[in-house]
Amino acid sequence: MLLAVDIGNSSIKFGVFDINDLSGIKYRFSISSSTSRTADEYELLIRQFLLINNSPKINHCVISSVAPSITHSVYNAASKISSKMPFFIGSGTRTGFKIRIDDPCELGADMVSNAAAALNITNGPIVIADLGTATTLTAINRNNELIGSIIIPGAGLSMNALSDTAELLNKVSFKRPDKLIGTNSADSITSGVINGNIFMIDGFVRNLREQLCDEDIKLSLIATGGYCNTIIPHCRNKFKIIDDLTLIGAALLYIKNKI
């Protein structure tokens, strides 16, 4: 079995795959990202997850990380669980597609994994929206080349920043209000943040479509991330939502590099 790990700034996702069949994830769980947890604590959490699901022995492990301060502890934990040392997605990873940006080393492992998963589903041009701590839009052209990305503060980050810095604005629930124009502080904030992200994504997609497509070429849209299901269903552009996109891509990259 293959353990895939997606280390983000807000959460860490774990997924178990059958190494011989990546068509579906077998088990999954997630925990909050924390620099205070030790490798032993991460190991205990992972072992409990595997035990609850009666998972067979983990022989392989792949890690995608955009949070270096947490990576070492998770790596040490995973190395005690997997019979083979964990594989990192990063510079030098064989992807099967070209990365045409100024410095490929700057590209986040999550974007690389997302692109690998997306290109396993469809061909370019593709825009991948990942709505996490940051909202990222990754562009893949018609030649299946990753040509760049757009990075925006995430919806949750924007909500927290507004609540934390504006003294009279209390924290509000993260739910789209029924009305565009808020008639109380809570609805005004959530409309601004959630509808603002909806309109922003639609606006970017409109302009990216003009840049990536001709009239005879359709733009594929794929979305993932923790805030995906709150925002993407309300966009005018229709995305295919794949919750485990990063884990699936990480597993595919492991197969390409290690098997």
Q: Which of 244, 243, 204, 238 is nearest to 220 (CA)?
A: 238
40 is catalytic: no
Of residues 21, 40, 102, 110, which has the active-site annotation?
Answer: 110
Phi, psi of 99 (to 5 degrees): -115, 105
Residue that the structure tokens 């370019």 belong to = 124
Output the CA torsion sign for 111, 114, 120, 121. Answer: negative
Q: Which of 160, 188, 3 is nearest to 84 (CA)?
A: 3
Residues 217/125, Cβ–Cβ less than 8 Å: yes
Tokens representing 237? 């552009």
> CA 21 to CA 213: how far, in whole Å?
33
Tokens representing 217? 């070429």
Output the CA torsion sign for 178, 183, 188, 190. Answer: negative
**Residues with catalytic annotation?**
110
